[in-house]
A = this chain, B = another copy of it.
């Protein structure tokens, strides 16, 4: 990016970054921030600031922000809290439009001086029109630039993709990133909002709604002072892309903990749920469900209705998927007579050939499996497919060619997979399937639950905007 970034762009596509409090002492967060930028291959200029150093990681280091001879788009501050107001003023004088304020010790601490300090920095920032992410944040990551502006270099190991996470908790962001690494969920931005000095969920939702690299917005929140701003922002962007939220603080104790953690009351859970529904935000109940659902919305079409076909290479996992589907209001209707005939031509009578299909005796036969999937994709009685295939050494070829079939342009029906195998087997095949828009899950229950959420999302969106 050569042009000057505007608005939120200073956080995600800065041309240059100053690290105030940069260090080469691994006991200091400033050292980890420097590693994140360099190991994460940030392509812009980096200016470490530390009065005691002439260089850090081989990069020329400045005694003060004001002595940097170049313009700076973003400043990452990792200084003790009491030095922060002065530094923000310097940022203003230097004309730096954005700050990531990693430092903790503000509104979230018991000592009420923390709140006063946060008030003070908000005022200074306001005078200069500086946007601040934080304080009390790990930072943020834009995997597409790439930019790892956090104190955790390992965030750069997450695959690049379409899911952006806005989080009120650094711990939860780390957890979700580690889950994303293990399950190969591609992410776009990971943002720790921390105490939300002057950048809040609403601002971020509006930015990500316009961001071409973000397909799905996932939100983790505990409690916020101005939930209405978030709801209104979500309503404004509704229909443009899916928003999913996981809100903790249902219980008395976690509600209380929230107040300390980021200085806000978690507030009444049912109120949030109602507001989410109204704004077309899909609400989920765990970190795993947030990521599972976000992945599906990033990769897969959304079903037109709630009529599911369960196709399984082995009956047990198919039954587990059926239980979740029916329990959550999806139906498993009979196939059309044409589909039924096509399936019967492909499967011997030893199999269960009605919905749910147990492909049993054809479990190793990739041609039969493909034929059945294709027939059901074309069945007007069916809106979505759950496909469960467990590896065994005798069916190693079972999923061959399936991705080509499913990659077909214009496929409108979601196919949610539970293709399961030992580490090192079928990994390429599963990657290819996900590339063809078949999100894959480790268990049939999670695959089914994800489909339930796609249907819930579709229904929520229809109510808001029937033409969508």
A367 to chain B, nearest CB (A): 15
Which of A274-282, A320-328, A408-416 forms part of the interface with chain B?
A: A320-328
A29 contacts B319, C-beta separation under 8 Å: no
B154 contacts A358, C-beta separation under 8 Å: no
Which of A390-398, A430-438, A450-458 forms part of the interface with chain B?
A: A390-398
Copies of this polypeptide in the complex: 2
* A157 at interface, CB cutoff 8 A: yes
B446 contacts A175, C-beta separation under 8 Å: no
Task: Give the residues in chain B near A35, CB-CB below 8 Å.
Answer: 393
Which of A118-126, A164-172, A205-213, A373-381 forms part of the interface with chain B?
A: A164-172
Decide yes or no: A315 and B257 within 8 Å by CB, A174-B420, A323-B251, A394-B29 being known contacts: yes
Which of A69-77, A85-93, A105-113, A295-303 forms part of the interface with chain B?
A: A105-113
Task: Give the residues in chain B near A423, CB-CB below 8 Å.
Answer: 181-182
Binding site for B on A (CB under 8 A): 29, 32, 35, 104-105, 108-111, 138, 151-154, 157, 167-175, 178-179, 181-182, 220, 222, 248-254, 257-258, 260-262, 266, 285-288, 310, 312-320, 322-323, 325-327, 332, 349-350, 352, 355-356, 358, 360-361, 388, 390-394, 418, 420-423, 425, 442-446
Q: List 14 A-B contacts (CB under 8 A).
A: A105-B350, A110-B350, A154-B392, A171-B314, A172-B317, A172-B320, A181-B422, A182-B423, A222-B316, A253-B332, A257-B318, A285-B445, A288-B442, A288-B443
Closest 8 interchain pairs by CB?
Answer: A171-B314, A169-B316, A251-B326, A172-B316, A254-B319, A261-B315, A254-B322, A174-B390
